[in-house]
């Protein structure tokens, strides 16, 4: 599912960019872009560090969402096709 469609599905109001679900969607998009970049430029250690930080931030947000509302967590994980 494209990023825009997922954002429309999960946002709270039309200008929402701060809710946990939308933040996870945006971080996932950045992570996917960085992963593509690193496949091409394997020795780019600065980008690799940025990728690790983004993955950690997404993990923390997902952990928070799971504590608050596990149904939303399960639905988001399924839509983004993430493991766990």
Q: What is the pLDDT of residue 55?
A: 98
- Residue 84: is its pLDDT beyond 80? no
Rounded CA separation 23/57 (Å): 10
Rounded CA separation 4/11 (Å): 10
Fold of 3-80: Helix Hairpins (1.10.287)
Q: What is the 3-state secondary structure (H, E, C) of 13-36?
A: CCCCCCCHHHHHHHHHHHHHHHHH
pTM here is 0.93
Mean pLDDT (whole number) for 3-15? 89
Q: What is the pLDDT of residues 32-67, one digit of tens each?
A: 999 999 999 999 999 999 999 999 999 999 999 999
Q: Which two tokens stand for residue 55?
A: 């993955």
């Amino acid at each position: 599912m494209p990023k825009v469609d997922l954002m429309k599905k999960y946002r709270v109001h039309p200008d929402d960019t701060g809710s946990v679900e939308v933040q996870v969607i945006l971080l996932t998009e950045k992570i996917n872009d960085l992963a593509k970049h690193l496949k091409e430029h394997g020795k780019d250690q600065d980008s690799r560090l940025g990728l690790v930080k983004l993955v950690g931030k997404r993990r923390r947000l997902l952990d928070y969402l799971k504590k608050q509302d596990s149904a939303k967590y399960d639905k988001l994980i399924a839509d983004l096709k993430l493991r766990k």
